[in-house]
Amino acid sequence: MRVLITGAAGFIGSHLCERFLKEGFQVIGMDNFITGSPDNIAHLFGHPKFKFIHYNVINYIYLEGPVDLVLHFACPASPIDYLSHPIHTMKVDSLGTLNTLGLAKLKRARYVFASTSEVYGDPTIHPQPETYWGYVNPVGPRSVYDESKRFSEAMCMAYHREHSIDVRIARIFNTYGPRMRINDGRVIPNFITQALKGEPLTVYGDGKQTRSFCYIDDLVEGIFRLSTEDGLSGEIINLGNPQEVSIIDVAKLILELTGSSSKIVFRSLPADDPKRRCPDIKKAKELLSWEPKVSLKDGLKITINWFKQMLRKGEREGEL
Ligand code: NAD
Ligand code: UDP
């Protein structure tokens, strides 16, 4: 089995490359490094079943030989990243989705799309089931991400209906773990880095907004099952951890786990920042027999250790 993974040098993509290699797949990783890094996949170079192509997926994709599975994960995912690359973000989840779907059609490959809880916008239903259509501001700053993911989902379903492509859509909720960047801008890397450096933790708004954080290994297991189990053509499935937590409580937990004496400071809330977010994972439980296993506390402990190593590495490199 040969799988193409776009966004292979990113946080989630690099973990997926590892998992599919471990399961015996031949993996073709594709990335243009806009928000990813070769460091995330350096250990895979030289693996006999791994091939990397430095490429921008908004351009036509040509691959020789068979492809059985396409995982389209390329796309800046941190709000800071997609707000600094708004047009690129829209291209990667329109032209990039079109090109990867076109490849799947040509090769008769199964297709898995990395969608997001952001398709639900600032939800009016709680927790969010897959049947909820969302509440999205189509012209706000976040719309570059939300609307292109919604467009991509519509495109996946059009290829499914018109060309009978076996598409599966993962609506991924906030995921965290090793290989997120120190300057990623997402809340967990920000708080951990700030706590470890003794800087104030920047809570946006009053910190009462909630998110539900899934540890990377749990997510990868869900994506792997969604990609490899039969009978899921055309399915849309939420993947996330239903343990909902307020952002202020995340800040306090990270202070406790790092033993940091950093203060908490409050900054203005970004436009259209969702107030509550929590996945309804009934469908994932039923169809994939999947649910997250790693608690926020345990996942954070591993992630904090990883950030400690990254900060030490940065210090050593700074000294050279
Ligand atoms: P990331 O920024 O770490 O990884 C994205 C990767 O895509 C990077 O390596 C980047 O260089 C690459 N990329 C971007 N544009 C590209 C292009 N035009 N051509 C080739 N490569 C390109 O982000 P992530 O957290 O790993 O997210 C991966 C996917 O999962 C994204 O599609 C994202 O929308 C989705 N997702 C992530 C989360 C999360 O919490 N991490 C939540 C919901 C959805
Ligand atoms: N946030 C915060 N401080 C930070 C970064 C983020 O309070 O330094 C908040 C942000 O406003 C949002 C939540 O944390 O309410 C999650 O933000 P993130 O950027 O991780 O992802 P989002 O779920 O908004 O895509």
| 310 inside domain | no
Is ipTM beyond 0.95? yes
- Determine the structural domain holding residue 112 and report its residue range: 2-175+215-242+273-293
Ligand 1 within 6 A of CB of 96? yes
259 is a domain residue: no
Catalytic residues: 145
Please tell me the predicted confidence (pLDDT) of residue 314.
Answer: 86
Residues 306 and 257: beta-carbon distance below 8 Å: no
Tell me which residue has its CA closest to atom 23 in ligand 2: 174
Measure the N-to-C terminal CA separation of the chain; round to a whole number of Å: 44
Helix-strand-coil percent breakdown of the chain, rounded to 5?
Answer: 40, 20, 40
Structure tokens at 14: 């690099």
In a domain, 255, yes or no: no
207 in any annotated domain: no
Sole residue written with tokens 């998110």: 211
Q: Is residue 21 included in any domain, yes or no? A: yes
Q: Confirm whether 229 is domain-assigned.
A: yes
Ligand 2 proximal residues by C-beta, below 6 Å: 79, 174, 186-187, 190, 202-204, 209, 211, 247, 269-270, 273
pLDDT for 315 equals 85
Residues of the chain with pLDDT under 70: 319-320
Q: Is residue 251 part of a domain?
A: no
Q: How many domains does the chain have?
A: 1
Nearest CA-CA partner of 97 in 54, 156, 34: 156
The domain spanning residue 8 has which CATH number?
3.40.50.720
> Torsion over CA of 236, 241, 152 and 92, rounded to 10 degrees?
-150
Ligand closest to Cα of 79 equals 2
196 part of a folded domain: no
pLDDT at 320: 65
